């Protein structure tokens, strides 16, 4: 059955219609306003966003490639549910990339990127409002700053491919255990301090603790 329930408010701005549709759907899925299991109809999306059905179809194919939706014959698109396996695999990928970046930053004695402390503060403010979409965005920027500071553009580009799935997993984890926000903040501060002193051993230990699948979160997700 195709839903016609209200979704997220369409984003403003220019650019190709397919990119606007993609961004609107992606953000709606990440935030949970377009929840897992929900069916999306081309005609409904085109009417809400104000575009023809062709860019909607193009956005659907991009979202399917990124594993946000499944395209089902004669049923349209269905939003995929975040699974425990996906969470574990995203965390594992991040540990590999961010861990390498930490080693490089500490070896070069560059210290923590200046924006990290400000992003940590912004994350806490968003968390006080229980705006998990904003929290996930600030969290991603915080960790991306470490990767970018390593100075390897290929590695940064690779990390950027995780962006949407990284945020979606973060939102689901925070919804499952919002009380972890204080732990996340404390670990962020520890990461900044370790990077500032070039203490790679401590920074890597904190990172692995920070990016470990929490049993209470994993148990709230499907295993498939």
Pick the CATH number of 84-214 from 3.30.70.260, 1.20.120.530, 2.60.120.200, 1.20.120.1200: 1.20.120.530
Q: What pLDDT digit, counting tens, does each position of 47-65 carry?
A: 999 999 999 999 999 999 9
Round to whole Å and give the CA distance between 25 and 79.
10
How confident is the prediction for the chain on average, in pLDDT?
89
Which sequence spans correspond to the domains of the chain? Answer: 17-79, 84-214
Query: pTM of the full predicted structure?
Result: 0.82
Contact call for residues 30 and 172 (beta carbons, < 8 A): no
Round to whole Å and give the CA distance between 193 and 10.
40
Of 92-106, 123-137, 147-161, 205-219, the least confident: 205-219
pLDDT of residue 9: 43
Q: Cα dihedral sign for 71, 73, 77, 80?
A: negative
Q: Name the fold adopted by 17-79.
A: Arc Repressor Mutant, subunit A (1.10.10)
pLDDT of residue 223: 62
Query: What average pLDDT does the segment 154-166 reach?
Result: 92
Statement: residue 139 has pLDDT above 50? yes
Q: 17-79 and 84-214 share one CATH topology?
A: no
Q: How far is CA 201 from CA 17, 110, 114, 191, 193, in A?
A: 47, 16, 21, 11, 12
Query: What average pLDDT does the segment 197-221 reach?
Result: 86
């Amino acid at each position: 059955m195709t839903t016609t329930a209200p979704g997220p408010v369409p984003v403003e701005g220019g650019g190709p219609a397919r990119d606007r549709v993609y961004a609107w759907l992606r953000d709606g899925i990440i935030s949970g306003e377009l929840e897992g299991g929900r069916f999306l109809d081309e005609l409904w999306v085109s009417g809400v966003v104000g575009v023809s059905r062709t860019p909607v179809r193009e956005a659907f194919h991009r979202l399917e490639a990124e594993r946000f939706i499944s395209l089902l014959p004669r049923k349209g698109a269905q939003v995929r549910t975040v699974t425990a396996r996906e969470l574990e695999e995203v965390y594992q990928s991040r540990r590999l990339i961010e861990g390498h970046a930490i080693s490089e930053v500490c070896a070069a004695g560059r210290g923590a990127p200046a924006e990290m402390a400000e992003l940590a503060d912004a994350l806490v403010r968003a968390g006080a409002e229980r705006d998990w979409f904003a929290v996930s965005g600030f969290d991603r920027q915080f960790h991306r700053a470490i990767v970018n500071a390593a100075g390897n553009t290929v590695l940064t580009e690779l990390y950027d491919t995780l962006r949407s799935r990284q945020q979606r997993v973060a939102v689901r984890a925070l919804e499952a255990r919002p009380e972890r926000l204080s732990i996340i903040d404390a670990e962020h501060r520890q990461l900044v301090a370790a990077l500032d002193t070039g203490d790679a051993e401590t920074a890597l230990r904190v990172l692995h603790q920070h990016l470990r699948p929490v049993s209470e979160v994993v148990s709230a997700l499907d295993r498939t």
